[in-house]
Amino acid sequence: MMQADWQEFERAHVWHPYASMQNPLAVYAVKSAAGVHLQFEDGRKVIDGMASWWCAIHGYNVPELNHAIEVQLGKMAHVMFGGLTHAPAALLAERLLSLAPSGMKQLFFADSGSVAVEVAMKMALQYWQAQGRSEKTKLLTINHGYHGDTFGAMGVCDPLAGMHHLFADMLPQHYFAEAPTAQTDDQWDDSQISSFRQLIEAHHDEIAAVILEPLVQGAGGMRFYAPEFLRQVRELCDCYDVLLIADEIATGFGRTGTMFACEQAAVAPDIMCVGKALTGGYMTLAAVLCTANVSAGIHADGHGVLMHGPTFMANPLACCVALASIDLLLASSWQQRVQAIEAQLEQELAPCRQSERVKDVRIKGAIGVIEMVDSIDIEPLQKQLIAKGVWLRPFGHLLYTMPPFVISTTELSQLTSAMCDVVT
Ligand code: PMP
């Protein structure tokens, strides 16, 4: 098929994320990608300011990552994980557990972030069942969260911005506290946690776990919150016998300036989900890490097996590229890079604060967010950005970037100046 023909076919037959089949938004065909650039089929080249939705921290077509996959491909692409195992899974498990916050001792490999969240919830529910506390079936979270699109995960996404209204009758009912508004510990006062405290005090007997995105709420609104909130959540969970699940799927692997966002609050969760940048954006893979207390607790009644087992669990290609991606990250000066990106985003997006159309500009690690007063008309804005050589995907009131860590200062300036131009 010629390019024009397959694009036409695709438009008529293939769904895109959160899109209409009858009236789809424009999509751009990508021919190849290298470094921080996407090469479109029509010859245009753009800087990827999204890192493919948080994933491509090393950029594209990375020799070390290509090599890892090629070597593994010569051995085996995939085998089932039921009853079989392999070195890539074992080595990746060792690396992940050694990097994770203290106390993480066991892990489960899932095949996507949403599935990891489902597994994390099952771990928490099975843990309490095995303790003879089967009444603990609810989750507690905060508004503006996002944890994935499967049913369990949707049940803890923001009740207004999420998809609750579409599936209200089918979603399990959980508890939602007000999200903190303090972005830093300087802005903290105890009223920030009062809604959360009230809910956990009143309902801890039925609450199995708290689930949160540590410090940065992503797809639910690109909001940042003070580490103090997370510290107090940890204390309240301990006080009321509730497990803490940290969803580090977006924040993991350096994005917020530390390897995991939890570290900035010196908090260790009971269960932690990772995904997205785990494979450097090469393949789909996620993992759910937990403490020895959780894994032993699931077995406390003598026969607790964790009831999950996806077909592509611990795919060897994905495990190998994840290991190579983590090694590449650790061998780089990623902390300095993320700090430098943070400083440059702060300096170059700051002028947007002067615009009446802009409500807020916020930066954390290698994440830059411009929140507009009015909601954004995505298609024309995206066209303008592409004309300036930049790929971004705004949503709602938000124009934001989380670029690959390997972006150069010149490339980042092109990105920020395009952002400033289109919002002011
Ligand atoms: N949790 C968080 C915090 C996420 O940002 C996402 C993806 N946007 C998910 C879970 C779901 O991951 P996936 O899209 O891989 O299912």
What pLDDT does 160 receive?
A: 85
Phi, psi of 127 (to 5 degrees): -55, -50
Instruction: Give the whole-angstrom CA distance, residue 228 versus residue 369.
Output: 22
Q: Is 59 left (phi over 0), alpha (psi -120 to 50) or beta?
A: left
How many structural domains does the chain have? 2
Task: Give the 3-state secondary structure of residue 202.
Answer: helix
From the CA of 99, how far away is ligand 1's center (Å)? 21
Q: Dump pLDDT digits (tens) for 255-266.
A: 999 999 999 999
Q: Dump pLDDT digits (tens) for 20-63.
A: 999 988 999 999 999 999 999 999 999 999 999 999 999 999 99
Residue 332 pLDDT > 80? yes
User: Is 158 in the active site?
Assistant: no
CATH number at 353 reads 3.90.1150.10
Give the other-Cβ count within 10 Å of 116's Cβ: 31
What pLDDT does 168 receive?
A: 82
Task: Give the 3-state secondary structure of residue 53.
Answer: helix
Residue 162 pLDDT > 80? no
Of the residues 175, 276, 364, 400, which is catalytic? Answer: 276
User: Is 60 in the active site?
Assistant: no
CATH number at 317 reads 3.40.640.10
Instruction: Give the whole-angstrom CA distance, residue 290 versus residue 270.
Output: 6
What pLDDT does 163 receive?
A: 77
Residues 304 and 365 reside in one and the same domain: no
What pLDDT does 3 receive?
A: 82
User: Is 146 in the active site?
Assistant: yes
For the stretch 364-390, what's the b/e string if a residue is b when 16 or more beta carbons lie within 10 angstroms of its beta carbon?
bbbbbbbbbeeebebeebbeebbeeeb
Q: Of 304, 331, 358, which residue sits at a domain end? A: 331
Q: Dump pLDDT digits (tens) for 203-254.
A: 999 999 999 999 999 999 999 999 999 999 999 999 999 999 999 999 999 9
**Does residue 254 lie within any of the structural domains?**
yes
Average pLDDT in the chain: 96
Residues 294 and 171 reside in one and the same domain: yes
* pLDDT band with cut points at 50, 70 and 90 for residue 95: very high
Identify the residue whose C-alpha is closest to ligand 1 atom 7.
Answer: 148
Q: Of 271, 305, 331, which residue sits at a domain end? A: 331
**Does residue 67 lie within any of the structural domains?**
no
Strands 37-40 and 30-34: antiparallel
Torsion angle of C-alpha atoms 261, 316, 81, 277, degrees rounded to 10: 20
Mean pLDDT of 273-288: 98
N-term to C-term CA, the chain: 42
* pLDDT band with cut points at 50, 70 and 90 for residue 300: confident
Identify the residue whose C-alpha is closest to ligand 1 atom 5.
Answer: 250
What pLDDT does 189 receive?
A: 97
**Does residue 109 lie within any of the structural domains?**
yes
Residues 282 and 143 reside in one and the same domain: yes
What pLDDT does 89 receive?
A: 98
Q: Which atom of ligand 1 is nearest to the CA of 284?
A: 15
From the CA of 103, how far away is ligand 1's center (Å)? 24
What pLDDT does 354 receive?
A: 96
Residues 325 and 340 reside in one and the same domain: no
Q: Of 331, 358, 376, which residue sits at a domain end? A: 331
Mutate to test the pocket of ligand 1, among 146, 256, 278, 402 (most ligand atoms within 8 A of CB): 146
User: Is 127 in the active site?
Assistant: no
Domain that holds residue 55: 3-61+333-423
Mean pLDDT of 77-84: 98
* pLDDT band with cut points at 50, 70 and 90 for residue 191: very high
Q: Which atom of ligand 1 is nearest to the CA of 276?
A: 15
From the CA of 124, how far away is ligand 1's center (Å)? 19
From the CA of 245, how far away is ligand 1's center (Å)? 14
